[in-house]
Amino acid sequence: MRVWLVNHHALPPSEPGVMRHYTLARELIRNGHEVTVVASTFNHYTGKQMSCARGKLCTSERFGGVPFLLLRVPGYRSNNPARLWNMFLFAFELWLGLGTRKMPKPDVVIGSSVTLFAAFAAERLARRMCVPFVLEIRDLWPQTLIDMGMQPYHPAVVMFGLIERYLYRNSDKIITLLPNSAEHMTLKGARSNDITWIPNGVDLEMMPLPEPLPTHKVFTVLYAGSHGLTNALGSVLDAAAILDKKAPGRFCFRLVGDGPHKPSLCRRVEKENITNIVFDCPVPKREIFSLFQQADAFIITEKKTDLYRYGISPNKLHEYMAAARPTIFAADSHNNPIAEAGAGITVAAEDSRAIAEAIEALAAMSAEERWKMGIRARQYVEEHHDFAGLARRLERVLESAVVTQGEHRRKTRILTPDAERP
């Protein structure tokens, strides 16, 4: 099959950020398919243009054997009108066929959210070329906006709601990262038998077998990812402040990444003189493993909201588990890989005192006990979240979409009299 995989925010391993689609594309290519990832030149996670942008409207690059078509879009600093313009312009360039008109026709097009504009443009592109369209939903928009406090009749919610319903009703197949989202989708017009759950995963080639960390004086807790509203990092700062007063010099919190809330978090640490917090810049994915090996434990925090009743599938969580360190899971979610694997401690979302107590409990364990937790985590992701296996599931979905459309066309030719055929 020839596959076009459209994701506004897809990234190569040379960039900090999520690499789901690069890795899935690489695995599909290894399985004999031709895949091109269509993305933008702007890295949403760092707020910078990729180094390969070069000022052209579009550029073709190859990263680790995976072809990328990069469409140039303007940058932005936060969730403001500039971001909306960035989203719209990428979709418009895609809809125009910028860079794709000279490419061989695909057999199937995948359109991935978060940006529904891009998914809508990918659907229109697929219809124009008369090929199947597969929709991938990573977050439920506009439900996410509503759960974060936006009014249901806000113009943005109404607009995204119309696009959402259109996409659910007009997709040949739907992939979701959230294990409990099918009910929501079917209420909006999706066909339940066309929905497949393919969660996030890990690239085990970049996460080789880890080694236990020897016991040392300072217990390091690491967070790596976006610094945004939903990440609830304020609760981590609260827990750090508690432990800083209770056991000065015993704990270190490393927050790696970037996002709209990072400046305010840095100001708070300085203002309150929280001495056990260290902020680090984002690092490229190929360097993340060596960084993870420096941690004694990881932490994942999410905002206390109904948003996660459909489940959770953060890329960083599975990478934590692959690094074989225990994880503190501070989220109220339908699913909980840490609890399922016996790979850490679960506490309520945004409960800073419980987070502090969980960190103390892990630090009080022997290195051998923590290592056993880490090994269980590693075994869990190897079994359930290896991208090689997830790519095979994706491959079956794509093949089904192509076969189904082919069968539909044959039935149409049989049922349509020759005189009525175009």
Distance CA 27, CA 48 (A): 28
Does domain 219-384 fall into CATH 3.40.50.2000?
yes
Tokens of 317: 């969580």
Structure tokens at 89: 């312009």
When mean pLDDT is compared over 4-8, 203-207, 223-227, 334-338, the highest value belongs to 4-8
pLDDT at 80 over 80: no
Strand blocks (E) in 107-213: 108-112, 133-137, 173-176, 195-197
Q: Which of 34, 195, 21, 16 is nearest to 112 (CA)?
A: 21
The predicted-structure confidence for 86-113, as pLDDT tens digits, reads as follows 999 999 999 999 999 989 999 999 999 8
- Reported as a single tens digit per residue, the pLDDT across 140-177 is 888 888 887 889 899 889 999 999 999 999 999 999 99
In angstroms, rounded to a whole number, what is the distance separating the alpha carbons of residues 122 and 69? 14
Q: What is the mean pLDDT of residues 207-218?
A: 83
pLDDT of 414 over the 60 cut: no
Task: Please state the rounded mean pLDDT for residues 303-321.
Answer: 86
Query: 335: alpha, beta or left, given left = phi > 0 and alpha = psi -120 to 50?
Result: beta
Quote the CA–CA distance of 235 and 395 in Å, as a whole number. 40
Residue 406 scores a pLDDT above 70: no
pLDDT digits (tens, 9 = 90+) for 250-302: 999 999 998 889 999 999 999 999 999 999 998 887 788 888 999 999 999 99
Between β-strands 251-256 and 277-280, what pairing exists: parallel, antiparallel or unpaired?
Answer: parallel
> Band of the pLDDT at 422, cuts 50, 70, 90?
very low
Distances from the Cα of 370 to the Cα of 55, 227, 242, 250, angstroms: 49, 27, 23, 17
More confident residue, 349 or 313: 349
Domain map (residue ranges) of the chain: 2-201+387-415, 219-384
Q: Please check whether the domain covering 2-201+387-415 is classified as CATH 2.30.40.10.
A: no
As a whole number, the mean pLDDT across the chain is 90
Percent of the chain whose pLDDT exceeds 90 = 67
Is a pLDDT exceeding 90 seen at residue 210?
no
Averaged over 407-411, what is the pLDDT? 59
pLDDT confidence bin for 419, thresholds 50/70/90? very low
**pLDDT-based confidence at residue 211 (cuts at 50, 70, 90):** confident
pLDDT of residue 399: 96
pLDDT in tens, 331-345: 998 889 999 999 999
pLDDT of residue 421: 44
Is the pLDDT score of 79 beyond 80?
A: no
pLDDT average, residue stretch 222-242? 93
Residue 413 has pLDDT above 60, yes or no: no
Alpha-helical (H) ranges within 154-223 are: 155-170, 182-187
> Are 112 and 40 contacting, i.e. CB atoms less than 8 angstroms apart?
no
Helices 352-364 and 234-246, axial angle in degrees (round to 10): 50
Average pLDDT over residues 46-61: 80
Number of other CB atoms surrounding residue 304 within 10 Å: 16
Which one has a higher pLDDT value, 387 or 56? 387
Question: Over the stretch 353-380, which tens digit does the pLDDT of each residue have?
Answer: 999 999 999 999 999 999 999 999 999 9
